[in-house]
Structure formats: structure tokens, C-alpha cells
Amino acid sequence: MNEIKIFSPATIANVSCGFDVLGLALDTVGDEMIIRKVKQKGVRITKIIGQDLPLETHKNVAGVAALAFLAKTDSEFGFEIEIDKQIKPGSGIGSSAASSAGAVWAINELLEKPFKTIDLVRFAMEGERLATGVAHADNVAPALFGGFTLVRSYEPLDIVSIHTPRELFATVIHPHIEIKTSDARNILKTKVPLKDAIKQWGNVGGLISGLYTEDYDLIGRSLEDYIIEPIRSILIPAFDAVKKQSLKAGALGCGISGSGPSIFALCKGEESALNVAEAMKLVYNKVGVDYDIHVSKVNKKGIKIL
Ligand code: ADP
């Protein structure tokens, strides 16, 4: 096999209570990529459709992640990468992570799997370092493992795959405003009051338990963020109204996707997720903000061959 075409999913990081550690993969939105094994060594980005992103290997996250992979092999081949970019950069649903994770996953397939998924996470994190300045794993881990993931530790890197209930759907609305990831980080406080930390880790435990026992009420009760959301939500137009209307329309919980501006809701079943989408749209139609909206089952498989 010398060429592979893949779907690499968009992802929701943080998932309310799990800032920098929890993430989940989506099914209906993601990048499509073609990776080709060639004789000429090195990595070349040969085509990008859909977005204006750099073709230079060192400036594109897919190139940087692929180089991190190849630096750990003595492969006699090189690779060409084509990206059909369907996730808008800066949307908060892991645009850079999809390209980084997709590149290393596909190269691993073409070389007959010399690396384990956890190693691929490490390589893809180098792409995240280029995009955000921080080699975080909360988007690349769910893209590579599928479903829900927990980054239990960075040193050493320890990723835990979490059971995903069958009927769990996500609705994501992306208001067309720009928030710089650096701004979204800089406004955060560096100290957390103990009383907030206690509520937060109660919710992380509750969410994990709810996912394993498929207890949708417990999942809903646990989707509260006492630490990041009260500060970050100020950057997102009509966040409180979107959240209120989503919950009223039946969402289990609602919060900021990654560093925003996308807002996600988790729902039990597709019908509920579609109702929540209508409620979210109504809010932004009233306020006059353009948006994209996605309704998706939680993707248990992660990246797949097309
Ligand atoms: P999101 O907010 O959706 O997670 P990111 O902030 O992670 O998106 O990534 C966007 C940044 O990464 C932009 O600065 C973009 O120019 C850069 N970038 C470089 N290569 C890519 C790529 N292949 N796909 C997406 N973004 C890329």
C-alpha cells in the first residue's frame, strides 16, 4: 500500500470540567487527507484545499508531526500529504490536532504500524506545539484513540480511553468570531480557590463514572465548569443565552469547546441533539452572528480509512 485516504475527526477538548485533560472525538466533521509513500525522502505538503494554510513542511502542523514521527524511524521512504481542510482553524474543535494526528496515523499505517497509538500521540503533540506554543494532548488523544480520552499525566504521558455511552451525541455551534488561543489562555487565573477545585474534581469523577455506567443524568450533573468557563465565556457572544436555551431544549450539559469560540452540548440521542441545534441557532439568528453547526454521535473509532 503506497497511498491512503483518511478521515481525521474534529474533537472537543476540556468537556466542561476537564480543562486540559478530557477530550472526545466527533463523527460528522473532520479533515480528509491523502498520504502517499514516495521514494524521495522527507515530508512535502503537496496540496491544501478549503483553507489558506502554509504548504511549507515546517509551518504546517501535519508536516511537523510527520517529521517528528520520521525522526524516530530509519524509513527509506518519504511522504506527500494532501489536506482537504474541513475544520476551520481557530474554531475550538481541534483543527490543528486533526491534521497532526491524521498525518502520523496514516504514515504509521503505510509503514505497517511500527508505533503504538500512545507514540503517535507524542508525535502529533509536536504539531500542537507549532499551532499553540504548547504540546498539549487533549485534542490529538481523542482523534487517535477515538471516543472519550483522559490525559491522566504528561510526565510520563499516560492516556486513558474512557467508555463512551451508545446514545451520546454532541451538538457544536461555531460562531464566526475570532478568539486567539493565546488570549483565551492569558485571561485565565493561575490560582484556583480550594472550594472551586473541590467542586471541579467532584464533577470530573462524576462524569467518568456517568460515562462508564451510561448514567445520563449523572453525566449532565457533572458537566459544570467552576474554574475556566466563568472567565472564558466572556469572550463568546451570547454564551449564557446559548447555554440556557440548550439546557431548556434538553441538553445534558453545555460548555465551551476547547478554547472557544465553539460551544458544545452533550445530548442523549440524535433527536435531542437536533432539538438543541435548533435552540442554539435561534439565539445566534436573533443576535445576528453567523455560525456553522454540527450534530454528531461521539466517534468511538477516531481516525478511519475512507
Ligand atoms: P482550533 O482552535 O480549532 O483547535 P487551532 O488553534 O488548534 O485550531 O489551530 C489553528 C492554528 O494552527 C492556526 O494558527 C493555523 O494557521 C495553524 N496551522 C498550521 N497548520 C495547520 C493545519 N494543517 N491545520 C490547521 N491549522 C494549522
Helix/strand/coil (H/E/C) assignment for every residue in 257-298: CCCCCCEEEEEECHHHHHHHHHHHHHHHHHHCCCEEEEEEEE
Which atom of ligand 1 lies closest to the CA of 97?
Answer: 7
Q: Kindly state the DSSP code that residue 236 receives in the 8-state scheme.
A: S
Write out the chain's pLDDT in tens, 306 residues: 899 999 999 999 999 999 999 999 999 999 999 999 999 999 999 999 999 999 999 999 999 999 999 999 998 999 999 999 999 999 999 999 999 999 999 999 999 999 999 999 999 999 999 998 899 999 999 999 999 999 999 999 999 999 999 999 999 999 999 887 778 888 999 999 999 999 999 999 999 999 999 999 999 999 999 999 999 999 999 999 999 999 999 999 999 999 999 999 999 999 999 999 999 999 999 999 999 999 999 999 999 999
The three three-digit cell numbers of residue 289, written as one number:
452572528
Among candidate residues 103, 136, 162, the one where a domain is terminated: 162
Task: Name the active-site residue from 32, 126, 128, 224.
Answer: 128
Count CB atoms within 10 A of the CB of residue 76.
7
| CATH number of the domain enclosing 14 | 3.30.230.10
Residue 223 lies in a domain: yes
Among candidate residues 122, 141, 162, the one where a domain is terminated: 162
Among candidate residues 94, 127, 162, the one where a domain is terminated: 162
Please choose from 48, 82, 96, 134 the residue to mutate so as to test ligand 1's pocket, defined by most ligand atoms within 8 A of CB: 96
In terms of domains, do 135 and 227 share one? Answer: no
In terms of domains, do 149 and 183 share one? Answer: no
In terms of domains, do 174 and 278 share one? Answer: yes
How many folded domains does the chain comprise? 2
* Residue range(s) defining the domain that contains residue 131: 3-162
In terms of domains, do 146 and 214 share one? Answer: no
Residue-level pLDDT at 182: 75
In terms of domains, do 148 and 218 share one? Answer: no
Residue-level pLDDT at 184: 83
Task: Name the active-site residue from 82, 167, 181, 270.
Answer: 181
Residue 87 lies in a domain: yes
Question: Which residues are paired to 48 by β-bridges?
Answer: 83
Q: Kindly state the DSSP code that residue 225 receives in the 8-state scheme.
A: -
Please choose from 35, 61, 172 the residue to mutate so as to test ligand 1's pocket, defined by most ligand atoms within 8 A of CB: 61
